[in-house]
Structure 1
Amino acid sequence: MNELNIALVAVGGLVLLIGLVSDLFRRTWWTSEPLTALVCGILLGPTVFGLLHPDRWGVAQETLIEQAARLTLAIGLMGVALRLPKNYAFRKARSLLVLLLPVMLLMWLCSGVLVYLILNLPFWEAMLAGAAITPTDPIAASSIVTGVVARENLPGRLRYILSAESGWNDGLGYPFVLLAILMLQRSPTEAISHWFTRILLWEVGAAILFGALLGYLAGRLLEWAENKHTIESKSFLGYTIALSITVLGAAKLIGTDGILAVFVAGLIFSDVVRGDEKAEEENVQEAINRFFTLPIFILLGLVLPWQQWWALGWKGLILVLSVLLLRRLPAILLLHRLIKPLKNTPDVLFMGWFGPIGVAALYYAGLSLHKTGVEAVWTVTSLVICASLIAHGLTSTSLTKLYGRYNQNQQVNRESG
């Protein structure tokens, strides 16, 4: 009971602190909200003060990680979907397809091969770890593309394309992870056959259709309730949170990808009910998302495998540096001409660097550990997540401001010329 109260104080106190100084936090602190929560978890955990011990909670670690990350993603993805302009996925379909097919495939192959070459893991274990760290995390990405600094320095086209990509590829990371899991458990022929028929056609395809259907129905029901005056306007935010949880659970019950279904439901719902009144609630939605998403990073800080990291030695350092530099940036540089919202070199470099790894990777690491028992996947994934939170957290404010100054200088030069 004492640990529960300590956890409540930690989560509530952190959200209160960040809420009180959010503007100052975004403008002047050389860190991010997820990184701050991670440090808080490390301090509270067995490594430092020993106030919280997840191994005493009576839940298997992989189950705790998987389910906590799954719920966090559902809440975060709904927030991302509601922030995007109406019909954004349809209007930018070509650019998103480039990011979700060739770019994502290259990110997976690069990540997996790096793990294979540097750590000498069995090939499909390495590819499983690579699949887990492939998706761009919507929770960590939100801390980069939302807030006062982002609105003042980043154009909407850059903020929206990064948000949309991070939302879609969370769910679409599932086929990569499951392919690697199946290859570890079955013969290649059987694995590929099952992957195509069960994973792609049903779990992914049906998730998109199911999410779209529930999102559309939820939007129409909300409009009906508002027209009949059976709902208060302040119920909108609670309605969207309830929708995300409902879709997540229902999609799982029918055996589909719940993460992808939630994001699709959010997109369709947002397009159906989009209006000025809903748009004005963005700041409140952001605050609610903060309350639901920061605890997962505290949990991550509590369960970090320090001994396994130490056993990797210098190979662990080489791996994280290689992944951060090579996982995403080369793919964006290679294919940026096909991604229309990227207009210039700073756009390409910003998009190439800021592909943070976070809650999505945490979810897939827990899922992989649960299904295969391969501890190396958890060791690698948790290490890369923390490296990403540090690297992207410490550079988000400074590079965003640098991007803004570049744009201002370019505008001044055009006006003076």
Structure 2
Amino acid sequence: MDQLNIVLTALGGVVLFLGLVSDYFRRNWWTSDPLTALLLGIALGPVALHWIDPNQWGLAQEHILEQTARLTMAIGLMGVALRLPQNYFWHHWRGLVVLLGIVMPLMWVISGLLVYFILGLPFWQAMMIGAAITPTDPVVATSIVTGAVAEADLPPRLRHIISAESGSNDGLAYPLVLLCVLILVGSADGSALQTSGVLPYWLVHVVLGEIVGAVVLGAITGFVAGQLLKWAERQKTIENTSFIAYSLALSITVLGATRLLGTDGILAVFVAGLVFGNVIGGQQRSQEDNVQEAINRFFTLPIFVLLGTMIPWQQWLALGWKSWLLVVAVLLLRRLPAVLLLYRQIPALQNLPEALFAGWFGPVGVAAIFYAGYCLRRTGIEEVWLVCSLMVFASIVAQGLSATPLTRLYHSYACKQT
């Protein structure tokens, strides 16, 4: 019970602390909110103050993080969806097709091959790790493209394309992860699959059943929720202040219900948020700042504190120097070359500096924590958690420290061009 109270105090205190000084840290110390929360978690954990010790909780730490990441992603994705302009995907489909249909698979292949060649893991284990770190994380990305610095120095089209991609590929990475899991351990019910039967099972059950099903169910739920909200406003049965609670409740409801129905709950939440936002229209957009504040400060930062307390330092050191070579290679090669190669096909990226910015800021974050925990639970392969947690840590540090200076550098370039 003491541990529970300490955790609650620490998590609430971190949110209060960052609510007071996050903008100061971002402007002067160049630290993002996720990075600050991660560092505070390390300080509170077993390696420093020892106020929070997850080893005493009696549960697998990876499972705790997996379920926390699942909830965090759902709430964060709803915030991203509501932040995007109405009908954004309809008007920017070309660039998103390139990012999701070409860049994302390339990120998977490149990441998996880097793990395979540098760490020497079996091929499909390496590809599973590559799939887990493929999605660009919307929670970390939000800390990069929102706030006073980003809104003052970055054009909306650049901020929106990063948000839209990060919101979409969290759920779309699921079939890539599942393909590797199916090859390694078999179907969801534990039955073994012949090699020749993996692809048909994957196409029918994962792609058609879970992914397409998630899009359909998410769209229906978001549409119905939006219509009900408009009806409640016409009947004057709802207060304006209920909008935040309504949108958060929608994300949790969709996450749980769609998973019970056997579809990809993460993707369904994002689709539901997009459709919901389009249905309610611009009348609620003025509440965007309040929604984002509630989401970022209260619901998404605690997972980084928990991650800081659960970092497997000893196991990371046991991986040796090759793991740090992998970190550098993944950060530089996982995404940046693909975006630079294809940015002329993405209308939102109008020049090379914007391509460099979007290529660098494809953070590995909460989605990787979720998929790493899932893969570990399904396969029992410890390396997936060790490598993914190391990449999350490295990405939060590297991109958290570079967000403010690179945003200001881009702004200086843009000012010189005008």
**TM-score when normalising by structure 1:** 0.97
Which residue is equivalent to 2:189?
none
Asked if 1:279 corresponds to 2:289, the answer is no
Classify the secondary structure of the residue corresponding to 1:275.
helix
Classify the secondary structure of the residue corresponding to 1:229.
coil
Runs of 5+ consecutive residues of structure 1 not aligned to the other structure: 412-417
Does the CA-based 8 Å contact 1:11-1:295 persist in structure 2? yes
Asked if 1:78 corresponds to 2:85, the answer is no
Q: Counterparts of 2:292 and 2:198 in 1: how far apart (Å)? A: 41
Which residue is equivalent to 1:310?
317
Classify the secondary structure of the residue corresponding to 1:233.
coil
Does the CA-based 8 Å contact 1:218-1:269 persist in structure 2? yes
Q: Counterparts of 1:301 and 1:179 in 2: how far apart (Å)? A: 30
Which residue is equivalent to 1:109?
109
Letter in 1 for 2:216: L
The alpha-carbon deviation at position 26 of structure 1 amounts to 2.8
Classify the secondary structure of the residue corresponding to 1:280.
helix
Does the CA-based 8 Å contact 1:368-1:377 persist in structure 2? yes
Q: Counterparts of 2:280 and 2:25 in 1: how far apart (Å)? A: 32
Asked if 1:330 corresponds to 2:344, the answer is no
Asked if 1:230 corresponds to 2:237, the answer is yes
1:166-198 Cα offsets, whole Å, 9 max, x none, are 000000000110001011124321211111110
Classify the secondary structure of the residue corresponding to 1:205.
helix
Which residue is equivalent to 2:68?
68
Does the CA-based 8 Å contact 2:30-2:404 persist in structure 1? yes
Which residue is equivalent to 2:181?
181
The alpha-carbon deviation at position 245 of structure 1 amounts to 0.2
The alpha-carbon deviation at position 280 of structure 1 amounts to 1.7
Does the CA-based 8 Å contact 2:340-2:352 persist in structure 1? no
The alpha-carbon deviation at position 48 of structure 1 amounts to 1.6
Does the CA-based 8 Å contact 1:247-1:261 persist in structure 2? yes
Does the CA-based 8 Å contact 1:26-1:148 persist in structure 2? no
Letter in 2 for 1:26: R
Q: Counterparts of 1:256 and 1:36 in 2: how far apart (Å)? A: 34
Which residue is equivalent to 2:190?
none
Which residue is equivalent to 2:401?
394
Which residue is equivalent to 1:156?
156
Does the CA-based 8 Å contact 2:226-2:280 persist in structure 1? yes
Asked if 1:288 corresponds to 2:255, the answer is no
The alpha-carbon deviation at position 59 of structure 1 amounts to 2.2
Letter in 2 for 1:16: L
Q: Counterparts of 1:50 and 1:163 in 2: how far apart (Å)? A: 36
Asked if 1:380 corresponds to 2:387, the answer is yes
The alpha-carbon deviation at position 296 of structure 1 amounts to 0.5
Which residue is equivalent to 1:14?
14
Which residue is equivalent to 1:415?
none
Q: Counterparts of 2:356 and 2:222 in 1: how far apart (Å)? A: 35
Classify the secondary structure of the residue corresponding to 2:173.
helix
Asked if 1:297 corresponds to 2:297, the answer is no
Q: Counterparts of 2:377 and 2:334 in 1: how far apart (Å)? A: 25
Matches within 5 A, 1:113-124: 113-124=113-124
Letter in 2 for 1:283: D
Q: Counterparts of 1:53 and 1:22 in 2: how far apart (Å)? A: 26
Q: Counterparts of 1:27 and 1:133 in 2: how far apart (Å)? A: 29
1:100-124 Cα offsets, whole Å, 9 max, x none, are 1110000000000000000000100
Which residue is equivalent to 2:371?
364
The alpha-carbon deviation at position 42 of structure 1 amounts to 1.1
Runs of 5+ consecutive residues of structure 2 not aligned to the other structure: 186-192
Matches within 5 A, 1:134-283: 134-185=134-185, 186-276=193-283, 278-283=284-289
Which residue is equivalent to 1:404?
411
Does the CA-based 8 Å contact 2:135-2:170 persist in structure 1? yes
The alpha-carbon deviation at position 29 of structure 1 amounts to 2.1
The alpha-carbon deviation at position 43 of structure 1 amounts to 1.3
1:223-262 Cα offsets, whole Å, 9 max, x none, are 0000000111110000000000000000100000000000
Does the CA-based 8 Å contact 2:103-2:339 persist in structure 1? yes
Does the CA-based 8 Å contact 2:133-2:388 persist in structure 1? yes
Task: Give aligned-pair identity as a percent.
Answer: 59
Does the CA-based 8 Å contact 1:172-1:260 persist in structure 2? yes
**TM-score when normalising by structure 2:** 0.97
The alpha-carbon deviation at position 25 of structure 1 amounts to 2.8
RMSD, matched Cα: 0.9
Q: Counterparts of 2:25 and 2:174 in 1: how far apart (Å)? A: 34
